[in-house]
Every structure is written in structure tokens, then in C-alpha cells.
Chains A and B, each alone.
Chain A
């Protein structure tokens, strides 16, 4: 690969020769010196190698998460080596952003770059192209093909204190109280001693208080503990920002999170919180049920879930989709934008099957500025239908959690869901 000579050299030499000829014709020494200077300058800038052995390399460093958790910073390093190049024109393009050009000194340049993004999942963060320029612009060389800074950005896990639980925990052991008597749970009742009760369970104070005849013994019974099944079902039919104008124009809105970003964050936060309590978590995506992660717990399962959630992207949903199968008596967490009827149908099916359903609304906070009148009217219709769907979901007995809300509001909603179960 060799650079293309620029006409600047020919222009310089040609002008120099004209000046030399004029100097000879008119006997002017200043023109002679200027002409000779131009010829020397143009000729000395020429190069036979013209960037042979040029190299462009982009290396990415580990992703760093900002204080707010939602924004990540991806450091990268652009290495360019072009022998005999005087300047290197670096062209960087971030998705949804203006192309930027930066001219740096050659022939070797190491340029640190930092890309900030609010998105998660597989992201093409930056495309880098470079052009080498010889001395005084004598030649140019494109360092194609362009290199792309790619990263798989794990979703952020928000800390959740209160978590909704299914009506009846069905596991054999775990961190939650089961309704049946057993070991490990909270106090249940005082009960007359029966064959099979352990002697160490005899409550002597209760026996002294309640015993009527010699030989009456009372035992202190506790509740059993149980883990729960949580089925995370992610509706990947849409990927929308909260900027309503973007919906019309199809602009991905590079600087603001999309519904898939919110869904990934919600799914990973809930999965982490339930796994921390040693519960069984499964994960399914509506458009690709074959890629489901079956129920499980533990460190290895956590990594499997993390990679499964991080790679989810919006997909066209099948016309006839199979209903995701969830474990019996599992808590079903349905993450969706509720912009179509399918999630409502699924919530109804699961409610009819006796599952507790938590519908997580993953649509980002809406921004309605700079909308035309017809766009405003259209958005009202779409959002009205969405509000009706969410009302239907509530009417079925499902809980609705708006994820992209103030952290306090989200925590309060989760706490309210937890109390509902205790009351019920």
C-alpha cells in the first residue's frame, strides 16, 4: 500500500520553474532565489516510500462504570504508524453523532479516546478511519478499512431491598418462609407433642403453662423455609427511546437510554436480587424462546444469566408465538413496553394459571418536546392505548412496576408489592 502523490508537488515545482525563467529573463535575483526555494521545497517533500508499512490499530481497555451506574466509559487507544507521514487525519464516527476529524502529528501517533454511552448490550461505539498526509501534503494514504471499537456492556444492577414473592413458595429450602411447618423459619405455633417431633423442640415453659395432666408435652413449631421460582420474561419486540419524536423518525437517539437498555437493567437487577436470596431464576425472550436460560441459581447460573441478558436485542416477533412455559407457582416478571396486546394476553394466561405476575413497564421516561401537531395527536392515541393495556393488566390482578422512575418511587412500589403479599 503506497500513498497517492498530491498535485501540490507538481504545482510547487511548476511555479518554481516559472519564477526561475522570469528571473533569468529579467535578471532578478530575488525571483531566482524564490524559484529555487519552491523547487527545493517541493522536491524535498517527495518520497518514494509514501507510507509503505502503514498500520492502524484500535485497542479497547476494560469498560468503566460511572458513579450513577447507568453511564459507562469505554477507554480505547488508537495506534497509527505511517512511515514518512507528517500528519494523520483521524476520522471518528460515533453512532448517531456527527463525524469528527482530528489532525495529529505523524508518523507515529497514539491517541487515547474515551467513549461514554448510556446503552448496554453489544454496542459499536466508535468507527475510526485514518488518512496519512506526507510532507507539505505531497501525498496522501487512506489507512482503510476502518476499525470499530466494539464492547459488550453489561447492564447495571440496581440494589433492590424489597422484592415481590409468589403467593405460595414451593421450594424445599431457601431464604423465604413457607406456609408448611418445618425447620429454619419463623415461629409458627405451640403444638402438643406428637410422634416424630424432636425432643429438643419441647418448649418447657409452654408445657408448664399449658399442661393439664402429667405427661402432657408441648413443642414449639416453626415454619419451613423455601426458595422461590422467578421467571423473567422479556418482551424484545420494541427498542424505543423516551423521546416521542424519535418514534416517528426512527432515530435511535444515541444519547438517551432505550427501552431495551431499561429492560436489560431491570432484568439484571431483579435477577441479581433474587439470586442473592438463593432463589431459582429463569430467563426467556419472547421472540426467541429457544434461547431461554432454564431455572437455576448459584454463581455459574448468574454468569449465564448475565450474558443472556446482555446480548438481548430487539427482534421481530413471530406472528404465532408460543407462550413461554414457566415453572409451576413461579413468580412471573414480564418486562415490556406494553405497546401491543401480546404481553397483556400472556399476563392474562399466567394469571389464569394462578401465577403471581409483575408487569415491569420498561418504556423510558417520556419527553414530548418539539412534536408537531399530528405527532402529538398520534402519540396521544398510542399512549392512550398503552395506558388501557396497563389498566387491563392491573385489572387481571397483576402488579405493575414502572422501572424508569425515580429510585425512591421504584423502591416504594416494590415495598408496596411486598406488603400486598403479606396481607393476602
Chain B
């Protein structure tokens, strides 16, 4: 419930809206576990700028910097954390573009984005694990690069359709 002396709005448990923006910066700080410090600092700074002035779109710039810095790192289990950060930054970046800076946020309003985040994140993590396991197998040459690209595109479209159908059923 939000309240002042004269106007009481009963919406259940709420948190300040700035915590959403702070959450974006905190999530970006997890990049210190993935990439070298100078790049990680750049990611955090870009995420912070995106939190303060969302219209600069630096939240997505932070995602791009994180991904490119990731190229210099060995491919290991930390890639799961990379997926988590990228996806969270995208969701928080979109919300902070649309929501105001000040006010209260009903905690229940976060349930739906969180559910959709999980709906996409879990299959992505499974796919990543399978890809990491398949790395050692002699699959090179089995499929041409063009076929991989087409299969990826078809997979993306299928996933989009599936998520939208699931969302419509709810």
C-alpha cells in the first residue's frame, strides 16, 4: 500500500521505482565475474547511464560490450551467467524506458515479466548446455554453415510463435 496523509492507494506490497534501475546496474556488475576489469567497468558505466537516461539505449550498448569482451574469454560454464545477465539487462532496459523514475512499483507487477523471463531463459540455458556438451563431438562438416544459420532462424521464429501462443493462453 502506498500512502500519504490524505491519499491512500491500496495496491499491496510495493517497492520504490528506482530499485528497478538500481537492479539493472547491480546485474551489470555481475560482468566482473566474466570479463576483464576494464571492460566490466565499461559495462557497468553504460548500464548506469542507461538507468539514469534510458533514452540513450546504453543498456543495450552494455550488452554488446559484454558480448564482444566475452569473445576473448574461454568458453566454459560461466556462459550461463552471461546468458542471465544479457537477458536481464534487456528486460530491465525495456521497462526502464517505459516506466517513470519516481513512484512505487507493485511487486505483483514483476511477476509477469519474471515468468516470461523464465520461459525463455530455461530453454536457452538447456540449449547452451547441449551446445557446450556437443562441442567435443566430431560434428564439424556434418552440416554446412548456411544450414546452421537457417536452422537458427527457423528456431528463433518457432520460439517466438511458441512464446506468443503461451502468452495468449494466459
A contact residues vs B (CB 8 Å cutoff): 6-9, 11-12, 14-15, 18-20, 22, 24, 26, 28-45, 86-87, 89-90, 92, 94, 97-98, 100-106, 111-117, 126, 133-138, 140, 254-255
Q: Give bound CA distance, A261 to B146, whole Å.
A: 79
Q: Which A residues touch B17, using CB under 8 A?
A: 101, 103
**Closest B residue to A139 using CB positions:** B98
A33 contacts B71, CB within 8 Å? Answer: no
Contact with A along B91-125 (1 / 0, CB 8 A): 10111111110111110110111001000110010
Chain B CB within 10 Å, residue with most, of A101, A126, A255: A101
Q: Give bound CA distance, A92 to B11, whole Å.
A: 13
How many residues on B have C-beta within 8 angstroms of the other chain's C-beta atoms? 65
Chain B CB within 10 Å, residue with most, of A11, A114, A126: A11
Asked if B79 is at the interface (CB within 8 A of a chain A CB), the reply is yes
Find A102's partner among B9, B60, B113, B163 (CB 8 Å cutoff): B9
Find B159's partner among A29, A31, A40 (CB 8 Å cutoff): A40
Asked if B10 is at the interface (CB within 8 A of a chain A CB), the reply is yes
**Closest A residue to B104 using CB positions:** A102
Q: Which of B22-60 touch A at CB < 8 Å?
A: 57, 59-60
Q: Which B residues touch A116, using CB under 8 A?
A: 5-8
A6-B98, A30-B75, A102-B106 as given contacts; A40 in contact with B7, CB under 8 Å:
no
Q: Which B residues touch A20, using CB under 8 A?
A: 152
A12 contacts B90, CB within 8 Å? Answer: yes
Chain B CB within 10 Å, residue with most, of A28, A41, A105, A135: A41
Q: 8 interchain pairs (CB within 8 A)?
A: A8-B98, A30-B79, A31-B70, A33-B127, A36-B156, A100-B103, A104-B106, A137-B97
B156 contacts A135, CB within 8 Å? Answer: no
Q: How far is the CB of B71 from chain A (nearest CB, A)?
A: 6
Q: Which A residues touch B111, using CB under 8 A?
A: 105
Find A44's partner among B9, B94, B100, B163 (CB 8 Å cutoff): B163
**Closest B residue to A14 using CB positions:** B60
B103 contacts A102, CB within 8 Å? Answer: yes
Find A32's partner among B94, B108, B152, B160 (CB 8 Å cutoff): B152
Q: Which of B68-82 touch A at CB < 8 Å?
A: 68, 70-71, 75, 79, 82
A97-B4, A97-B6 as given contacts; A40 in contact with B156, CB under 8 Å:
yes
Q: Which A residues touch B113, using CB under 8 A?
A: 86, 135-136
Q: How far is the CB of B56 from chain A (nearest CB, A)?
A: 11
Find A41's partner among B68, B87, B106 (CB 8 Å cutoff): B87
A137 contacts B67, CB within 8 Å? Answer: no
Q: Which B residues touch A134, using CB under 8 A?
A: 98
Q: How far is the CB of B139 from chain A (nearest CB, A)?
A: 11
Find B128's partner among A19, A29, A89, A126 (CB 8 Å cutoff): A29
A40-B120, A116-B5 as given contacts; A105 in contact with B159, CB under 8 Å:
no
**Closest A residue to B120 using CB positions:** A41
Q: Give bound CA distance, A111 to B112, whole Å.
A: 18
Chain B CB within 10 Å, residue with most, of A22, A24, A29: A29
Q: How far is the CB of B31 from chain A (nearest CB, A)?
A: 13
Q: How far is the CB of A5 from chain B (nearest CB, A)?
A: 11
Q: Which B residues touch A26, using CB under 8 A?
A: 71
Q: How far is the CB of A174 from chain B (nearest CB, A)?
A: 43
B60 contacts A103, CB within 8 Å? Answer: no
A44 contacts B93, CB within 8 Å? Answer: no
Q: Which B residues touch A36, using CB under 8 A?
A: 124, 152, 155-156, 159
Q: Give bound CA distance, A126 to B8, whole Å.
A: 11
Chain B CB within 10 Å, residue with most, of A90, A105, A116: A105
Q: Which B residues touch A44, using CB under 8 A?
A: 116, 120, 159-160, 163-164, 167
- Contacts beyond the supplied A22-B71, A29-B128, A38-B87: 18 A-B pairs with Cβ under 8 Å: A11-B59, A19-B64, A28-B75, A30-B75, A37-B83, A37-B86, A40-B159, A86-B109, A100-B2, A100-B7, A102-B103, A102-B105, A103-B104, A104-B108, A111-B10, A111-B11, A136-B95, A140-B98
